[in-house]
Structure 1
Amino acid sequence: MVAWRDDLRSLFTKYLIALFLAVAVPLTANGIVEAWFAYQDQRARLDALLGVEARGAANRIGNFVQGISDQLGWLVQLPWTEEIDERRQIDALRLLRQVPAVVNLMLVDGLGRERVYVSRVGLNRTEGRTDHRRDAAVEGARSRRLWYGQVTYNRGSEPYMTVAMAGNRPSVGIAVADVNLKLIWDVISVIRVGNTGYAFVLDELGRLIAHPDLGLVLKGDDEDSHRPFRAIREALGTASFATAVDAQGLAVAAASASVAGPGWTVVVVQPLAEAYGPIYAAIWRTAVLLISGLALAALLAWWLANRLSGPIRLLEKGTKRIGAGEFGHRVEIDSGDELQRLAESFNAMAEGLALSLERQERIDRLKRFLAPQVAELVDRSGDGSLLEARRTLVVALFCDLRGFTAFSAKAPPEEVMKVLSDYYEALGRVIAAHEATLASFTGDGVMVLVNAPVSADDPGRRALDLAADMQTNVQALVALWRMQGHRIGFGVGLAMGEATVGRVGNESRSDYTAIGSVVNLASRLCSAAADGEILVDRTLADVEAWRDRIVDKGSFTIKGFDDPIAVFALTTGQAAS
């Protein structure tokens, strides 16, 4: 016993205990303090992460809803008249194609009468003129211009919402759309916080309208399925971060953000077990370090991992930015090893992609009014001056369908669009084959230029060849249309002379066109041409290759010209019987 007491009082023991305490106490205190601050930092990071995800999802959903509102706004620009306006129905059908979420669309005039109704699931109708002045959507749009209805469940499952947009004055009417909210699932399903975190959307009444598990949404207005999610939103209240219990009984951390407009709430949650997993792991690592003394090894491992993963993260971020279209982004890594050479190769690839995209966009812009092979030629030559304004000899050709207005007023929209599609397909092949320039097309009318912007050998003969081929190809369609009971014809007018040619438009959109009396003359000749007829001016009538097929029609007084104009017809025998 005395010997044992002596050992405790020895200097060796005191130094041993003192040194041990000098190291153990600070390390233990440091571990506890670090764990506490790590918990607070993790909570703050979790709050920020969930908040960012919630706000990002809310912004994307808000953009989704705003995009629909913007599309509806284009339909309420012009005032209604008592006459039938077929363009309104075409615009409504175009919106259905551009916005898949819109299921039904109704256009109401300034008096609250239904003028156009198009649907993905029902029959389209025009000029129903049913009175909708007392509809909640119409009244809401009139009072607030933009009105969002309560969420309803179609057939008790799919969430729908009605959006109504009024114009800036009563006479332009109101556009009312039924929107399928099931497409919001595309936004919610890609949100992942950690491995098990997810997001969902509630309407103002606390009903579920979007969730990664689409089956929960399709339960419709089932109170039992909505209650757990509503409880999470209630736990949040006005706070930016809170903890609650989800539908599986798991404790979760939650953050929310409001969707501007319809007043929905996006909630992002992550189970606490996963959210605070890094804290629990840190505590265990601290305990292991205190027991095993491997602090230096852990520090070295952290340094090496950061040394390797840092450049990789830069490359990953760079890849995402390049994928998003930021081809000017460059990755800077100055490590002097393979990672630096990889970054240099990456930057060279980005530069090549930028040049390739720029060239493709340039060619695509040219293809809007040039034949594909001509567009490629202009791009390869690098001579952008070909499209600049200049005075040159040009052949202007106009063509359109006879009787198309009466046909389109009576025929179903699908039949009208089918006729136009076949018509433009036939003309497009002929124009491209003759390397002409498609200047513009409106409805059934087409304007084509020959000898601009690229010069052509014997432009007069090429233009007459083009006109003859147009009649041959379109008259084949006319014969088919006549068999289907459609009284449609096709006429062509063209003239040759000096004109001013070049690009017109603005920085974001431009077209290539020609301006001058020769263009006006060709347009008037087209208007005067009967079905199967090609009318030309005197200059083209003197083209040697077609002279034996030219018939003098006499001189006519043409609007916009002081003196009578000699008019000639190019006979092809292509008129449909």
Structure 2
Amino acid sequence: MKSSAPIVGQGKRRLIRSYFLVSFLLVGLGILASGLIGIYYHLSDIREQTSLLQQEIANNAALKVEQFIEEIEISMWAVTLNREIIAHGLSPDIDFQLNKLLKISAPVNEAFATDANGVVYEHVSRVRSVVLRNKQSISSTNAFDKAINGETFYGSVFFVHESEPYMSITIPIERYAGEFIGVLQSQVNLKYIWDLISKIQFGNDGYAYIVSRYGDLIAHPSISLVLQRPDLSSLDQVQRGFFENNQDQSEEESSTLVTTNLKGEKVLSSFTLIPKLDWLVVIEQPMKEAFDKFFDSLFRTSALLLFGLAMTFIASALLIRKVLRPLEVLRQGAESIGVGDLSYRFNVKTGDEFEIVSNEFNNMAKAIQDSHANLEDKVASRTREITESNRALEKTRKELEELNKSLEDKVKSQVSELERINRIKHFLPPTVSEAILKSDVVDPFQTHRKEITSVFIDLRGFTNFSDSHEPEEVMQVLREYHEAVGKLIDKYGGTLEHFAGDGIMIFFNDPRPQNNHIELAVRMSLEVQQRVGEIRPEWHRKGYNLDVGIGLTTGFATLGILGFEGRLEYGVIGNVPNLAARLSGEAKGGQIVIDRKTYSRIDNLIEVQSLGELSLKGFSRSIPAYSILSLST
């Protein structure tokens, strides 16, 4: 006889309350934690994005200031490279060139030229009625000392009549490379930078300014503040900006900080140092404006969070009620069947999985009830089935063991292949290893002949340096030098042929084709020259008299695998690499020397100076050569 089914909903209220509370706390705390984490990371993202954008503006501002100074410097170099000066040295014609400089470069207020002894030869001025005359000497100044060594000198900022800021720029006058005949010095009015700085805006209230290492305010949107000459050296952003330039700062350290400005207001400040001028470009934005977007987002997120918690409360109550009521019915039915009432049937009509489960329970109870008559036979039959299943499982286990062993062997083989590929990438240049891994039809290392551009870079003064310094110092210099050049080789897609101590051979257009391989080689060489120029002041400070000489030439050469089994290298032979090495040997420190054939291919790209015809070892004829001065503007 069937017993009556329990009424749905008569479960224990304590169970419902417990499950409701637990589910609400779990879901609610999850939503709350997710919202708080989202707010935290959103704040971090806004600050990071604002800092990055502000830092980019500071970098661009610094670049514009450098370009402003470089344009003036280029105008001055144009005076020193006048044909009359190159042909005859200093002459009365220099007065015309100096006045021309004042006309084409508005920021230049005064300019004068001296002879090789530092005695003033000619002086012109926009504002002075009395100018310097002959016999006055500047030979004892730092500017003259720098210029006679072939360097440009940038003077400190000074204020004329307590008003506008000025600086001086001094360059050497040379008839030919190394033939020093005097210096040219210009006094530059820095008020023209004010317009450039006043146009830089960040948000509604953001602004930019420039400060010198000594705390002098050079440019600011408020001109009256510049004329007041406040001392900014005590500001955190100024101290940190100049301090970090003298420390080994890692790339991860930010040049943005939260601090106070000259008025004591809290600001988000980003800064960029202009090393050659020893100026600091600072971009500042009030903190309130910088984080307005975050507070708006925080309000919206809080509202959504509260709404989510309310919906969680309602959903938890409904879900727990819907789940626990049929579960209570199933619990009571299981208890009845458990005590032997096999005639019990579940009565759940929810139209979902609970109803399916209750029907399965009913089928199970009926099956148990029907199986009592022949239970022993069924047990024996089931035992046989289990035995067969165990045998099948044992067979499957052995097959899986064999499969696992086979897979392990394959994985070991693949790991060995990956290790081989990694060794190839480690010991060969990136372009060569890339050709090995990507070439599946044509062998990139098959001996062939091809037009390439070859570059040979040599460290001047290295032999004397290595003889007179400790091995540790020598290896440290080589590491700095190789690291600087190596990054630029990868940047311009060159193939490193070999290192030979201080000598480095690179070629372009093989194995990866490069239509503009001559241009890439020239640009890389100029950037190597620039990068070593940035390292040299630190070398000079340590007493290392080092510089680079570069030879560059283009032509057809033979390329392929060189060496023996176990020690193979991808190399190039022929006159092209030999000529590049010989031209490098003729190059002075800081020079890039090319032959006439290469120059004819890129004469519209570069400015050069003729070096005449050079007699080179291994070449029967003299080679017309040129020194690259710069890219054409």
TM-score (norm 1): 0.45
